[in-house]
Amino acid sequence: MLSENLRKRLAEEYRYAVTKMQAVTPLANKLYYFSVFFGEAQRVLNFEWDRDLVLIYTVTQQVHAQFNVTIQTPALGVLPVDWATVSEKLTQAASDIATYYEKAENDDTREEMYQALGRLTEVSYVISGNGSYLCEKGFFKL
């Protein structure tokens, strides 16, 4: 469990990033602000170890990397993906993580954070070739 001052720091930084993500439309701009999630996690981990925070760091860094790979390749125009929904779900999951740090930590809030991380991995997976294909076939829905 993180100390209260570091938890507050994360809450403030994450909420700021989410507010900026909500204010911009281009996916590249959203990703710029989304990078705060793994960047700030890494900075806080330099002061205090927390297993949940290293999970947030790892998942958000991987999600960011998948988005970067996808938007830098011609696949962006080929994948049968609802990009508006992808953008909305990315922002909502980020908001849910910010909310986790704004609340007192307990088993219920931790479960909410794990669910948010799961949604982030689905958003990331749907923009991959196989993920897009499976979503198109109806195997899962964002």
How far is C-alpha 94 from the geometric centre of its chain's CA atoms? Answer: 5
The pair of three-digit structure tokens given for residue 92, joined into one six-digit string: 């909502």
The pTM (predicted TM-score) of the whole model is 0.92
Per-residue model confidence as pLDDT tens digits over 22-50: 999 999 999 999 999 999 999 999 999 99
What per-residue confidence (pLDDT) applies to 89?
A: 97
1-31 as b/e: b if 16+ CB within 10 A: ebeeebbebbbebbbebbebbeeeeebeebb
Return the amino acid letter for 60.
Answer: T
pLDDT tens for 106-135 read: 778 889 999 999 999 999 999 988 999 999
Residue 76 lies in a domain: yes
Q: How many CB atoms lie within 10 A of CB 137?
A: 8
* Whole-number pLDDT of residue 76: 60
Q: CB–CB of 18/87 below 8 Å?
A: no
Take residue 89 and report the two structure tokens written for it: 């779900």
Within a domain: 119 = yes
Are 27 and 79 within 8 A, CB to CB?
no
Please give the Cα distance from 14 to 36 (Å, whole number).
Answer: 7
In a domain, 29, yes or no: yes
In-domain check, residue 141: no
The tally of domains found in the chain comes to 1
Tell me which residue range forms the domain holding 122. Answer: 4-136
Domain assignment present for residue 94? The answer is yes
